[in-house]
Chain A
Amino acid sequence: MIQIKQIAAMAAGLPAMLPARSATRLHRYAKHCGQAALQARRIALQAGLTAAVMMTATAVVTASAATMSVQVKEAPVRATPSFVGKVVGALAYGDQVEIRQTQGAWSKVAGAGVSGWLHTSALSSRKIVLAAGQEQAKVAASGDELALAGKGFNSDVEAQFKAGHKDIDFTWINRMEKIKVPSSEMQGFLKDGDVTPREGGAK
């Protein structure tokens, strides 16, 4: 009976509890046993449905609430929780930081040799893995705890797209991405124009 259950589990796509050779043997055995095969069909259906429910509920990694990852290419770290706060450093994609304090949409973080305030939109509760091993790739597939940098729609996909669409030109996209206005220029711009932000910036 336990052997039939194992066949049922395999049919439902569960990880095999047996080496492939034993499974083949059992499989032949079931094939030659009419009654067992009937039972196997019934159990396969039950096990399959139960597995479907159980699979979605399985959590693989428990993320710590106090640690977050930087999910943007680069993020300025400020002395105070405000857009007008002095920039004291920068964090890069995938950097892990510890959350010390939060105030509105700002988090006081420490990590990668920098500490200060970061806007929460730069952070993800998922651990971002820059170079993933096989186990991490499997966990990342759930989309809840891990995110793999450079996977999915990436520069390879863009290159492939370009190869198929030679008429679409990225020159100006690259040019516009290079236009980065320093924080000091933004603040001077507001001040010169007599534009007074409410409570110092992004909430």
Chain B
Amino acid sequence: MSPLYRYAILSLCVLALAGLPACKTMDTLSEIGAGVAVATGVATPQQGESIKKAGSAVGKTFEAITPEQEYYIGRTVGAVVLNQYKPLDNEAANHYLNVLGQTLAQFSDKPETFGGYHFLVMETEDVNAFSAPGGLIFISRGMIRCCQNEDALAAVLAHEIGHVELQHGLQAINKSRVTSALTILAAESAKSFGGQELAQLTEAFEGSITDITATMMNNGYSRGFERQADRAAVTILQRSGYDPNGLTAMLTQMKKQLKSGGHDFAKTHPSPDSRIEDIVKWVGPVKPVVSHPVRQARFQAAAGKI
């Protein structure tokens, strides 16, 4: 590379970084990266152009992840959840959970996801529930025991559907990982991935999984995200015809069962009281759930014995 090239590229980098507003930095960095790659012969001019375009798409971060890619992320997030929590091999309970859950999902703002919504009971006394991107939802036995009727269980599932619908999992992914994945994708062009590209993509993928599982299982989503999921749950319950008081009933019961300092919902979620306060604003004063006999009978048959 001649001194002229080097000087021009280096100056461009310094000037661009110093002179552009912060929100443009992502675009700018890939512009520079693409320029350097072309000038050094790593990429053809055409590939350089692709990388730059990917850079501008990266500004949209998680929105640039297609439903198909969200599906693959969700599958692995789910597998990691099940690596920590054993699934409950109870066909009747899992089938009931899916009939209820998949029905509720039809009433969300996102009834259709790439692979659809699927539910599974985790065999643990911990009070916990997780939703992987795309619609794989896991509910612990401990959480089901916080529910005294179908309306309360519907509320738990609707809250998790809310997280899926609002793509809270994907938003936990560090932006730089999306950048690197899209850059590889752009440089890849029409040929299938070579070993090196696949390794790089897999690294970005692994990082994304870690970002999501760490947020979901250890740190918890923000208070704002939990409030949004509760709001979505109330909407789903109201549209479907379930009693939104099921959510407050479940939270009241959960308050009694949660151990402070436990490795479960208490650690990753706002206090039940603060959540109930919000729900009252949306649906009015708390009323007890009047359980329909058919609903109660099937709830007891499927979930009462687990």
Contacts and interface: CB of A to CB of B under 8 A. Distances in A.
Report whether chain A binds chain B.
Answer: yes
A190 to B, nearest CB: 6
B contact face: mostly helix, strand, loop, or mixed: helix
A138 B48 CA distance: 10
Nearest to A154: B72
Nearest to A179: B98
Contacts of B119: 176, 179
A173 B78 contact: yes
Contact of A185 (B48, B99, B181): B99
B92 interface: no
A16 B68 CA distance: 35
B106 interface: yes
Nearest to B59: A56
Interface string A190-203: 10111111110111
Contacts, number: 271
A149 interface: yes
B4 A172 contact: no
A59 B43 CA distance: 22
Contact of A119 (B57, B112, B193): B112
B79 interface: yes
Nearest to A200: B239
B217 interface: no
A142 B52 CA distance: 8
Given A122-B112, A197-B239, A52 B82 contact: no
Interface of B: 2-5, 7-9, 11-12, 15-16, 19, 27-28, 31, 34-39, 45-46, 48-54, 56-57, 60, 64-69, 71-73, 75-76, 78-80, 82-83, 87, 94-95, 98-100, 102-103, 106-116, 118-120, 136, 150, 181-182, 185-186, 188-190, 193, 198-199, 201-202, 205-206, 208-209, 238-242, 292, 294-295, 298
